[in-house]
Structure 1
Amino acid sequence: MQAFNSPLEAFLYWETTTPNKVFLRQPVHGKIKEYTYAQAGVEARKIGAYLKSLNLPEQSHIALISKNCAHWVLADIAIMMADCVSIPIYPTLNADSIHQILIHSESKAIIIGKLDDFESQKSGIPEIHKISIGLYDQSSGMLWEDIIAKQDALVNINLPQKEKLHTIIYTSGTTGIPKGVMHSSGSFMESSKTLKTHFEFPDHLKLFSYLPLAHVAERVLVNAGLVFGGNVTFAESLETFAKELEATQPHLFFAVPRIWTKFREKILETIPQNKLGILLNIPVINTLIKRKLKQKLGLAEAVFIASAAAPIASSLVKWYQKLDIKILQGYGMTEDCCVSHFNTHQNNKIGTVGKTLNGVKVKLTEEAEICIKNNCLMLGYFKNPEETTKVFDKEGYLKTGDKGEFDHDGFLTITGRVKDQFKTDKGKYISPSHIELLLSHNTDIEQICIVGTGIPQPIALITLSELGKSKSKIDLVQSLMDTIKSINPNLEKHERLEKVVIMKEDWTVANGLATPSLKVKRNNIEKIHQDYYQSWFEMNDFVIFE
């Protein structure tokens, strides 16, 4: 692997050595628009030159709000070329949240790309310089295409030192106000190097980018593609996603547990579980079925298939394993640039997040909190020295807020969040995550939040999967009761679930009950529903429809 100090240095290397190699592939109205490294370089240099023409101070903060697309990556490179710091913003945030981030980050300009509903968001943008991409029907401020047509390209580009501030990533935040995580250029180079150390990648690396690039995990993967001189394909829309993934057949594929659940639902809509089970037990036929399903999912050429960001049910991982799809679970966070723990092809234990990665030091506190030290820890929280001090211990370890335990073979299991514990009115503390994981084996359930403050026993608040929504009320109640009866004996007495409450609406980013990375926002859910816990607990029904 070529050694680089920054993503920009990596891009310039491939621009020089492989100018005609395809770098970005963007679907537009069903047709693919390709950018070679040379073409990408021209566009990025012109946008970079325009940013410099604004006479902003060096290391000015430039925001970027867009769904994943070729222009997201071009804009990111342009920001680096202009000696500026990128402030990525989730494309689904509302106007108030966008405004909060732009003001806190002191952004001097914003690049506006592919968005679903910019009309409802634009009031959140203060009076700063704006660049809009006409290809995605945006027209605020200067037009990207006009800059490309008129601006001379940057010639002299300063390469950043690896210690220099590269980006501020505002955490999606399951609790509280998002914090701005500062990372240097070297952080992403270290994460790419760690990936390469543990996994074998083909020379002509293909990636498919669809999870938000404002999230650290997707940014790490796309940066890895840049470091390895690969190419990145984007999805045009949710409707075309499956077809484009199948056509791409990426070498790396990362998904959060909810997406793996959705994939399984789609497969079972075509081949019911009973039929699939029979076919997988027939020699020769089973090979054809596995090959066809992997091809259809877009995973026929994948050498690294991963799940992270939230716990995934072991039963789901084993289900995919029967299709020869090996999902490797890992663990990392924005603050450690995703370099912490991961299962590998050689060392994989389902139900754990793997062994400690090379270059990582880890320790557990007396309360079992996981503390991490690596070569790509954040520089701190922007304008928040108090929180920065709180999150590092005296030896420089990052306090993750997650609790865990190691087995005798060195595999780490996440057992909960330090702050997610709640106390029932019996005075017993409960960590909900392991109960939620047991409950997630039921395919009728989409999202889970175990609660119980102020009542004698915990209850499960859930939303239904498409499969669950399609069932009759009687069948659904029976399914949920069977699951609770099977898991309660394995729990401590004070942890046993007393009720299941089915929510009227799903928990989404739009209603503020899920993060952009699809994690449940426990605090927000509790705020809305806590007043009802007692009345639900006192109802006669075991399964309650909100």
Structure 2
Amino acid sequence: MNPIFFRRDLCTSTSQLLQFSSTMSPKLTQQEEGKVVPDYILDKCAKHPHKVFLTQPMGGDAVKNWTFAEFLSESKKMAAHIASLDLPVPSQIAIMSKNCAWWLMADLAVMMTGHVGVPIYPTLTAETTKFTLEHSEAKLLFVGKLDDHPWQEMKKGIPEGMACISFPLCPEGLEYDKWDELIGKNEEIKEVKKRTPEEMATIIYTSGSTGVPKGVMLSFKNMTDPTFGLINQIHVTEKDRYLSYLPISHGMERWIGECVPFVTGMHVFYAEKLSTFVQDLGRCKPTLFLSVPRLWTKFQQGVFKKMEPAKLDKLLKIPVVSWLVKKKLLKALGLQDVRYAGSGSAPLPPDLLAWYRNLGLELLEGYGMTENFNYSHMTKPGRGRVGYVGEPNTGVVQRIAEDGELQVQTPGMMMGYYKNEEATKETITEDGWLRTGDKGELDDIGRLKITGRTKEIFKTSKGKYVAPAPIENQYISHPRVELACVGGRGQPAAHAIVLLGEDATKAVVDGGEKDAIEKEMEELLKKVNDGLDEHEKLQFIAIVNEEWLPENGFVTPTNKIKRSKIEEEHDQFLEEWYASKKKVIWHKW
């Protein structure tokens, strides 16, 4: 919804939103009976040994490329080392790193030796790191590219005595076995273990917005079928280029940034860090691009800083000039070659969608969750409807339960939660449907609209129900707002606790623009309220001056708000806030 480099991550909830645009339909990789994701990458490596597969920034202007042959050779050498450890087959092997080439090589090595991969988010607390490693019974841990602050916290959660291997670009000073040294001393593994569709491939731990994380068990079939579903729907081929920077430890990027490249052989580029993102984007010139609402908004703001919106609108209405302006803008954004553009974590506002569509990027929404490997709904070109997340993908069946909950059956539906039969029974109905936890509505052609989370809906003291998520989405669509939490259980009216974005915070602290931003927030409050039913209208916005981070428990690793933590932290101030009768409240500024 916290990607690795941005405050909000693409795949963010158990409910995740994607958006895609469209064109082109070249020859696609065909799914073959009994074959699974690792089989296809082995085929690609054999067919195109000298073609570049991965491009990794190494600091400064330096990059390192891997051909398919080089990628497979390193993977097989690491597989040989894993095999030499004589771990019980299958064992769980964890990977804790930001996206990088070694992530994919390590995961393929795990697959080739018959083991199960366990991604670890690169921004967990020590407590959650420890829980994930111990609960998954991981026997080995790869430690890779990590920022210093999260690493200082996360290393406290690594169980004493756990065997660890460090990637290049890992934090300095690690005394673990080093990837390059192990690769240098091992020959390639002679026999690659054949994986079957029914075997467990991975355990992905949910971000845990309520309670402890749950380990979603996914089979190779759960990963392979959705991969082909996506490839066929958006026509991915080996000619595509993709910039991987959203957290591969989450299901969405694992699907798009690992499984799809393994099957199609498309060229994957990695981003180095936030400050080099434009450079990384320019290097890749992606044909497929996924991002988050905040970045799409920042792209637009960057354009507006160079050209007034009114002037740009005029230019875009002049036929010949319009084509040149669009071409120049997309090139400046690094998106000139994009065929499919995506966004996630929350809906993009209609005016922003229209703005990008006017530039030639039609963003189409979709929906999925970790428990079905993100394979559920997607908008079809020309059939989009604002506020709706698309129609069921091929092989997906949907229904709305009596209580309004969306339930689905999909090829990606999990095997269950690891060592948690009770939660599995709660999530999968007796007749085999996955409970999404989302309330939904269907229109006359089956398009899905998400209306809220079943467990998040609350009553005010007036006895009326309020669904917070759709209201929060309207607030975080505003360029000044980073995150928002709508509450008001048992109160006379609902309210919003809001975290400003970085630029807005600087404008208040350093630019003396507090009054101007307060006026903007009052206007936002009115605008949102005007579109709500009377019982849903918010009484005030409380702008807090604090950090909401995974490390302090206010958000999940994917930057999804932890509602209970935010409400608990601010409950003591509610009486004062409601009594003040102010529309905008500045808390601890």
TM-score, normalised with respect to structure 1? 0.96
User: 1:360 deviation in Å?
Assistant: 0.2
Residue number in structure 1 paired with 2:253: 218
Distance in 2 separating the partners of 1:333 and 1:438: 21
**1:55-66, aligned counterparts within 5 Å?**
55-66=86-97
1:388 correspondence with 2:424: yes
1:480 correspondence with 2:536: no
Residue number in structure 2 paired with 1:500: 541
1:70 correspondence with 2:117: no
Gaps of 5+ in 2: 1-28
TM-superposition CA deviations, 1:472-495 (whole Å, max 9, x none) = 222222222222223323322211
1:240 to 264, 270, 276: 276
Residue number in structure 2 paired with 1:176: 211
1:17 to 47, 53, 59: 47
Kept in 2: contact 1:48–1:79 (CA 8 A)? yes
User: 1:346 deviation in Å?
Assistant: 3.7
User: 1:175 deviation in Å?
Assistant: 2.0
Distance in 2 separating the partners of 1:327 and 1:468: 27
Residue number in structure 2 paired with 1:540: 581
The one-letter code matched in structure 1 to 2:416 is G
Distance in 2 separating the partners of 1:189 and 1:393: 24
Kept in 2: contact 1:501–1:545 (CA 8 A)? yes
User: 1:137 deviation in Å?
Assistant: 4.5
- Which 10-residue stretch deviates more, 295-304 or 437-446? 437-446
TM-superposition CA deviations, 1:95-129 (whole Å, max 9, x none) = 22111100000000101111112333222111221
Kept in 2: contact 1:112–1:131 (CA 8 A)? yes
**1:365-514, aligned counterparts within 5 Å?**
365-466=401-502, 468-469=504-505, 470=507, 472-514=513-555
Residue number in structure 2 paired with 1:93: 124
The one-letter code matched in structure 2 to 1:3 is Q
Residue number in structure 1 paired with 2:30: 2
Residue number in structure 1 paired with 2:560: 519
User: 1:343 deviation in Å?
Assistant: 1.1
Q: CA 1:120–1:465 in 2, change beyond 3 Å: closer, same or farther? A: closer
2:57 to 27, 31, 36: 27
TM-superposition CA deviations, 1:180-216 (whole Å, max 9, x none) = 0000111121111111222223441211100000010
TM-superposition CA deviations, 1:344-380 (whole Å, max 9, x none) = 3242223210111110010001121110101121000
Distance in 1 separating the partners of 2:222 and 2:559: 25
TM-superposition CA deviations, 1:272-296 (whole Å, max 9, x none) = 3333333323332322222122122
1:284 to 320, 336, 340: 320
Residue number in structure 1 paired with 2:156: 123
Residue number in structure 2 paired with 1:161: 196
Kept in 1: contact 2:147–2:171 (CA 8 A)? no
Distance in 2 separating the partners of 1:542 and 1:119: 40
- Determine what percentage of the aligned residue pairs are the same residue: 38
Residue number in structure 1 paired with 2:569: 528
Distance in 2 separating the partners of 1:528 and 1:140: 39
Cα RMSD between the aligned structures? 1.7
The one-letter code matched in structure 2 to 1:507 is W
The one-letter code matched in structure 1 to 2:42 is L
TM-superposition CA deviations, 1:390-418 (whole Å, max 9, x none) = 10112101000001101123211110000
Distance in 1 separating the partners of 2:559 and 2:326: 28
Q: CA 1:184–1:322 in 2, change beyond 3 Å: closer, same or farther? A: same
The one-letter code matched in structure 2 to 1:371 is Q
Q: CA 1:467–1:64 in 2, change beyond 3 Å: closer, same or farther? A: closer
Distance in 1 separating the partners of 2:154 and 2:503: 33
| Count of aligned pairs | 546
User: 1:179 deviation in Å?
Assistant: 0.5
Residue number in structure 2 paired with 1:347: 383
Kept in 2: contact 1:206–1:225 (CA 8 A)? no
The one-letter code matched in structure 2 to 1:89 is I
User: 1:230 deviation in Å?
Assistant: 1.2
User: 1:467 deviation in Å?
Assistant: 5.0
Kept in 1: contact 2:437–2:454 (CA 8 A)? yes
Structure number with greater CO (CA < 8 Å, separation at least 6) is: 2
TM-score, normalised with respect to structure 2? 0.89
Kept in 1: contact 2:143–2:170 (CA 8 A)? no
Distance in 2 separating the partners of 1:467 and 1:276: 23
Q: CA 1:123–1:517 in 2, change beyond 3 Å: closer, same or farther? A: closer
Structure 2 residue matching 1:239: 3-state secondary structure: helix
Structure 2 residue matching 1:68: 3-state secondary structure: coil
Structure 1 residue matching 2:582: 3-state secondary structure: coil
Kept in 2: contact 1:307–1:330 (CA 8 A)? no
Distance in 2 separating the partners of 1:428 and 1:137: 51
1:37 correspondence with 2:68: yes
Structure 2 residue matching 1:39: 3-state secondary structure: helix
Gaps of 5+ in 1: none
Distance in 2 separating the partners of 1:276 and 1:183: 48
Distance in 1 separating the partners of 2:537 and 2:192: 61
User: 1:506 deviation in Å?
Assistant: 4.0
Kept in 1: contact 2:144–2:170 (CA 8 A)? yes
Distance in 2 separating the partners of 1:44 and 1:438: 45
Structure 2 residue matching 1:509: 3-state secondary structure: coil
TM-superposition CA deviations, 1:156-195 (whole Å, max 9, x none) = 1111001100000011122221100000111121111111
1:191 correspondence with 2:221: no
1:209 correspondence with 2:244: yes
1:142 correspondence with 2:177: yes
Kept in 1: contact 2:484–2:496 (CA 8 A)? yes
User: 1:316 deviation in Å?
Assistant: 2.3
